[in-house]
C-alpha cells in the first residue's frame, strides 16, 4: 500500500503543483477568501470527494468515507498581504516554479499544505483506500486575523468534532506536538489635555505610559516556562496616543501587547501580571484583552476574545504514535519531533476544545510572511503521500 501511495503521489506531482500555482494566483486576505474557497471546492469535486460543502462562515469541507473514526486535515486558505512589493524578486501572485520550488505569497503559509491535503484525499479515492474512517479535508478561513476562530465555529455550529486533527502548517516535514498560546492585550492611560505651550496645566497620558513601557520590558525577562514549548514572552507591538492637536498635551495613550503563553499561563494569570506592574498601578491604567468581531466573506460575524490557549500533545499519546508510524512506513526513517514558534488553529481545536491534534506540513516556517516565501515541490509530494496514508495507519493503530 505505501509503495502505491508514494507512486501515485509522484504521478500527480505536476497536477499538484499546478493546483498550488492556481491557489497562489488568487489573492485571499482574511475575510476575502471567496474565490480561493471556490477554487478548492472545484478541485475537491474533480478529485472525487464524496461530499463538498461550504459552511455559513465560508470554510470549505471535503468529506471522504463514512467510517466510525472521524478525522480531519486542516489548512487555512487566507494569507497575509504582500507588504513592500519591491522586496519581492518574483511576482507574488504568479506561483513561480524555479529550482525545484514554488515561490509566491502563501506558498509556504499555507497554500502548499492546502494543495497537499486536497491531493492526499485524491490519492485515497484514486487507490480505493477508504476504510473505517470519515476524513474531512478542511480549507479554513480568517486564520491569519484570528487563528482558531474557524474551528470554534465548525466545532460549535457545524457540529464537526473529529477524534483527531492534523494541522498542516509548515513543519519542514517534521511532526509537531503543539506550540505556545498567545493573547492580544491593551494597556490604556488617561490624561488631561491642554495647550502645548503650557503643559503644566494638563496631565500627559504619554508620560504616564513611559514607566509602564519599561515595566513590560522587565516583565519579559522574568517570564518562565517549560523546556519543550519554551518560556512565555511579552512585547509591545504598537503605541499610540490621542490629543486635540499636535500642539496639545496627550489625553490618552495605548500600548498593544503581544503576549506568548507558556504551558502554565492562562488568560487570567497573564492579565494579573500586567495589572500588578508598578507603572500600571501608579497610572491607574486599564488592562483589557481585545475582542475580534470581523465579518467573514459570507457576511458572518462570530465574536471571540483574542485569547489563544497553549496546547501540547503528550509524548505518549496514540495520535503521536500513529503520526510517527505513518512517517516510518512511508519514508523509512525516523521523523523529527518538534513544535511551532508561531500560533495555529490548534489553539481552538486542542487548546479550547481538547481534540487531540498533531502538526505535519510541507515547507519551512522561516519563509512564512516573507518576500522570499517558497515551498519545495518534493515537500508537496511527500506531504500528500503522508496525508493519504495517515487515516489508514491511525485506524489500524487505534484498533490494536
3-state secondary structure of 258: strand
3-state secondary structure of 78: coil
**How many C-alpha atoms does 229 have within 13 Å on its Cβ side?**
27
Of 55, 143, 144, 186, the active-site residue reads 143
Which DSSP string corresponds to 366-395? GGTTSTT-EEEHHHHHHHHHHHHHHHHHHH
Determine whether 247 is exposed, middle or buried from the number of CB atoms within 10 Å of its CB (0-12, 13-18, 19+).
exposed
Of 33, 43, 78, 184, the active-site residue reads 78
203 has catalytic annotation: no
Q: What is the C-alpha separation between 47 and 64, in angstroms, rounded?
A: 11
- Sole residue written with cell 486564520: 143
- Is residue 375 within 8 Å of 107, Cβ to Cβ? yes
78 has catalytic annotation: yes
What are the angstrom distances between the C-alpha of 258 and each of 21, 248, 250? Answer: 33, 30, 24
- Is residue 102 within 8 Å of 17, Cβ to Cβ? yes
- Is residue 323 within 8 Å of 286, Cβ to Cβ? no
Residue 22 CB contacts under 8 Å (≥ 6 apart), including other chains: 39, 95
- Is residue 79 within 8 Å of 375, Cβ to Cβ? no
Which DSSP string corresponds to 18-66? HHHHHHHTS--BTT--HHHHHHHHHHHHHTT-SEEEE-TTS-EEEEE--
Q: Which run of H or E residues covers position 76?
A: strand 69-76
The residues pairing with 101 across neighbouring beta strands, listed in sequence order, are: 98, 376
- Name the residues annotated as catalytic: 78, 143
Amino acid at each position: 500500500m505505501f509503495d502505491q501511495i508514494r507512486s501515485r503521489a509522484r504521478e500527480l506531482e505536476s497536477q499538484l503543483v499546478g493546483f498550488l500555482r492556481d491557489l497562489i494566483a488568487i489573492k485571499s486576505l482574511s475575510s476575502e477568501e471567496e474565490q480561493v474557497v471556490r477554487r478548492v471546492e472545484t478541485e475537491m469535486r474533480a478529485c472525487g470527494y464524496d461530499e463538498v460543502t461550504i459552511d455559513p462562515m465560508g470554510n470549505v469541507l471535503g468529506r471522504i468515507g463514512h467510517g466510525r473514526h472521524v478525522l480531519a486535515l486542516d489548512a487555512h486558505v487566507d494569507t497575509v498581504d504582500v507588504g513592500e512589493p519591491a522586496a519581492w524578486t518574483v511576482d507574488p501572485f504568479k506561483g513561480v516554479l524555479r529550482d525545484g520550488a514554488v515561490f509566491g505569497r502563501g506558498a509556504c503559509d499555507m497554500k502548499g499544505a492546502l494543495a497537499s491535503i486536497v491531493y492526499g484525499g485524491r490519492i485515497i479515492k484514486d487507490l480505493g483506500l477508504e476504510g473505517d474512517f470519515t476524513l474531512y479535508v478542511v480549507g479554513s478561513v480568517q486564520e491569519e486575523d484570528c487563528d482558531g476562530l474557524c474551528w470554534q465555529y465548525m466545532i460549535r455550529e457545524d457540529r464537526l468534532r473529529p477524534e483527531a486533527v492534523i494541522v498542516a502548517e509548515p513543519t519542514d516535514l517534521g511532526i509537531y506536538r503543539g506550540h505556545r498560546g498567545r493573547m492580544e492585550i491593551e494597556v490604556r492611560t488617561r490624561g488631561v489635555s491642554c495647550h502645548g505651550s503650557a503643559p503644566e496645566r494638563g496631565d500627559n497620558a504619554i508620560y504616564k505610559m513611559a514607566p509602564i513601557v519599561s515595566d513590560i520590558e522587565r516583565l519579559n525577562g522574568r517570564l518562565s516556562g517549560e523546556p519543550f514549548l519554551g518560556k512565555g514572552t511579552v512585547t509591545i507591538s504598537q503605541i499610540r496616543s490621542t490629543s486635540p492637536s499636535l500642539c496639545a498635551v496627550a489625553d490618552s495613550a495605548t500600548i498593544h501587547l503581544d503576549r506568548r503563553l507558556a504551558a502554565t499561563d492562562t488568560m487570567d494569570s497573564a492579565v494579573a501580571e500586567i495589572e500588578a506592574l508598578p507603572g500600571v498601578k501608579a497610572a491607574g491604567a486599564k488592562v483589557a484583552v481585545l475582542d475580534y468581531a470581523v465579518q467573514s466573506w459570507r457576511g458572518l460575524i462570530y465574536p471571540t476574545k483574542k485569547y489563544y490557549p497553549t496546547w501540547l500533545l503528550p509524548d505518549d499519546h496514540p495520535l503521536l504514535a500513529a503520526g510517527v508510524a505513518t512517517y516510518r512506513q512511508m519514508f523509512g526513517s525516523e521523523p523529527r519531533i518538534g513544535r511551532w514558534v508561531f500560533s495555529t488553529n490548534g489553539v481552538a481545536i486542542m487548546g479550547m476544545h481538547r481534540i487531540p491534534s498533531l502538526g505535519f506540513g510541507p515547507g519551512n516556517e522561516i519563509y512564512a510572511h516573507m518576500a522570499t516565501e517558497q515551498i519545495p515541490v518534493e515537500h508537496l509530494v511527500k506531504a500528500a503521500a503522508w496525508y493519504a496514508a495517515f487515516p489508514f495507519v491511525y485506524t489500524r493503530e487505534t484498533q490494536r
